[in-house]
Structure 1
Amino acid sequence: MYICDVYQSSLKFYCQRFSNNASPVFTDEELLTVYLFSGAFQRYFSIKEIYTFTKEYLLSWFPNLPSYQTFNYRLNLMSGAINELVRQLITFFKPADCDSMTSLIDSMPIITCAGKNKTGKVATEITTKGYCSTKNMYYFGIKLHTLAFRREGTIPFPEMIILSSAEENDLTVLKREAADCLANRDIFADKIYSDFPFWGEKQQEQEVTMLTPVKAIKGEPPVITQKEKASRDLFSTAVSKVRQPIESFFNWLNEKTNIQRAIKVRSTSGLLVHTMGKIAIAFIYLIF
């Protein structure tokens, strides 16, 4: 019922058809419901598994279920609608305990092909080769960046989700996509987001404070490094402790949906549906 309501109010404008088949017998609402229900409550994540489960157990509810090829093709056309659904889920179901003055930010890889010497041939319009320092791994794919509100004692809730190619630097993506939209807050992040001149300007203009573990200063005299070591270590530990829940958020997202593994994806639209669809599945499960 929720999917039908939100589809009629907004989602339909992101997947409109201008053809003789503008009103298919198996509706877009049914397609999204099958996909989200099977993922959130039956834990089926591949399209084949979702289709087989629906055909064997839910056919009385969805008697007009098309062939698997048609089901898969039509789902890949829904990437725009799924993006809008995710936006609405994180906008209208924001928990009351979110700290709007404190944000956490980090990224995770979505892997289409792993290996140092391998060449990715899937969704080449948006995927590139990157390196994940956390996993010590080279991979082809994209990055999922999440800026989230801190919540006391539990995983943070996303405010903004950004997709980028794997080779892009996290700080560059944040500067380009989100830095100008932020105001009046403290942001806790990893060392890669450290840029004193840039964030110094943002603190003056928008009252945004970026807090990261202390980065080694190139060319600094060893005497000063040794002198400041204790205070820098304490500060870095404190920042890391505050930003740790964003890692827990990514672990929760991957456990619920297996989002990082996109090896069976074969197209750009399929990769977008895989990524944003898994996020929608996780939040449908969390909210309902």
Structure 2
Amino acid sequence: MDWQTRLITLYLSVCEHFAQGLWIHAQRFAPHADLGFTDEEVVTIYLAGILDKKREIQTIHGHARDYWADWFPRLPCYGAYVRRLNRLAEVFPALLERLCPEGPSPTRVGLVDSQPVILAQQSRRFKAKVARQELANSGYCPTKKLYYHGLKIHVVGDYRPGTLPLPRYIGVTPAGMNDAPALETIAPVLAYRELYSDKAYEYLTRNPNLPFTVLTPVKKEKGQERLDSADRLYSTAVSRVRQPVESLFNWIQEKTGIECASKVRSFRGLLVHVFARLAAAMFLLSSCLQSA
């Protein structure tokens, strides 16, 4: 899909969702708003800029001003555009829900994992204040061996051999919250028989009250140097099944740059950063599924 077709398709999709009720998340109660430049255009430019691998709002605005002026003739100045974008922060979570690809009924096998969104890392995390009261806090990412201030994105999706999983549930939690309790909160509504995950969910393998079986690689006991051959084979098999969900996060990061949020300076800006990038990724994934 060339950039013009994608831009038109994205704009029409955003307009359709606004007409179907997304507008209620952007209601205004003051009579003085100038909407010559519409909310649909604000959202479209930001999502299109993300898909063009522009990572900062200023870069996206400059690109739209220089190359899309004929498409958006009433584009405001940079400061006004940022204010409009942040006022639409509640739109993006609802848009993400609408843009998630719809597939057949869930498979019996599911995958779960999490991904960090980093506002500040290492020693700078102690001074970070962005969204500290609302959502973000300090945590540790064992995959990257990194202490950071930020949040986690959690995805539960259908296992599809040979391709990316189909996301069924996407949520965010503070960075300091463990992965397993986040999964337990939605466990009653999951329709899977088996759920493959990493070692962070290991204690759930012993929880008899879950409606599904949690499968994780085997953890070494305290003081144990090596796993026996049977445990190594089992861990390898589990890791191979759950590898696609890691590929999904790598794909989202490659397409949107969602992990780095060091330029975000407000809670609303954080909502825009996270949910707009997830919405852009789900729009792209839905387009790929429809064209397949």
Give the structure-1-normalised TM-score: 0.88
Match of 2:41 in 1: 30
Distance in 2 (CA, whole Å) between partners of 1:47 and 1:196 is 41
> 1:199 is matched with which residue: 207, 210, 216?
207
Of 62, 79, 83, the residue aligned with 1:73 is 83
Q: 1:180 to 1:21 in 2, by over 3 A?
A: farther
- Determine which of 197, 218, 234 is the counterpart of 1:189: 197
Within 2, Cα distance between the matches of 1:105 and 1:132? 16
- Offset, 1:285: 2.5
Does residue 1:10 correspond to 2:21, yes or no? yes
Letter of the 2:158 counterpart: F
1:88 is matched with: 98
Q: Distance in 2 between matches of 1:100 and 1:240?
A: 19
Give the drift of 1:196.
5.0
Distance, in Å, in 1 between the alignment partners of 2:190 and 2:282 is: 24
What one-letter code is carried by the residue in structure 2 that aligns with 1:107?
A: S
Which secondary structure does the structure 1 equivalent of 2:108 belong to?
A: strand
2:159 to 130, 144, 150: 150
Residue aligning to 2:290: none
Change (3 A) 1:169 1:150: same
Query: 1: distance between equivalents of 2:71 and 2:204?
Result: 58
Change (3 A) 1:61 1:140: same
Q: 1:232 to 1:77 in 2, by over 3 A?
A: same
**1:253-268 aligned within 5 A:** 253-268=252-267
CA shift for structure 1 position 201? 1.7
Q: Distance in 2 between matches of 1:7 and 1:104?
A: 32
- How big is each residue's C-alpha offset from its partner over 1:76-106, in whole Å with a ceiling of 9 and x where there is no partner? 122221111111111xx3345x862111001
Residues 113-132 of structure 1: pairs in structure 2 closer than 5 A: 113-116=120-123, 118-119=125-126, 120-125=128-133, 126-132=135-141
Matched, 1:45 2:55: yes
SS at match of 1:110: strand
C-alpha displacement of 1:18: 1.3
Determine helix, strand or coil for the equivalent of 1:88. Answer: helix
Match of 1:104 among 100, 106, 111: 111
CA contact (8 A) 1:15 1:80 kept: yes
User: What is the distance in 1 between the residues matched to 2:119 and 2:204?
Assistant: 34
TM-score by length of 2: 0.87
Question: Secondary structure of 2:207's partner?
Answer: helix
1:263 maps to amino acid: S
Equivalent-residue separation in structure 2 for 1:243 and 1:118 (angstroms): 31
**Which amino acid is 1:233 matched to?**
R
Q: 1:140, 1:166 within 8 Å by CA — same for their partners in 2?
A: yes
Alpha-carbon contact 2:205-2:215 (below 8 Å) kept: no
User: Unaligned stretches of 5+ in structure 2?
Assistant: 1-11, 288-292
CA RMSD in angstroms comes to 2.1
From the superposition, tell whether residues 117 and 287 of structure 1 become closer, same or farther in structure 2 (CA, over 3 Å).
closer
User: Post-superposition shift, 1:121?
Assistant: 1.9
Distance 1:196 1:264, change over 3 A: closer
CA distance in 1, matches of 2:154, 2:205: 23
1:197-254 deviation per Cα after TM superposition (whole angstroms, max 9, x unaligned): 763222xxx3x111111234569xx8xx99x822222211111110111111111111
Q: For residues 23 and 209 of structure 1, do their structure 2 counterparts lie closer, same or farther at Cα, with a shift above 3 Å needed?
A: farther
Unpaired segments ≥5 residues, structure 1? none
Partner residue of 2:217 out of 202, 209, 213: 213
1:187/1:266 Cα in 2 relative to 1: closer, same or farther (>3 Å)? same
Q: 1:184 to 1:249 in 2, by over 3 A?
A: closer
Q: Distance in 2 between matches of 1:39 and 1:278?
A: 7
Structure 1 Cα separation of the partners of residues 62 and 228 of structure 2: 59
**Among 123, 132, 135, the residue aligned to 2:144:** 135
Query: Is the Cα contact below 8 Å between 1:130 and 1:167 reproduced in 2?
Result: yes
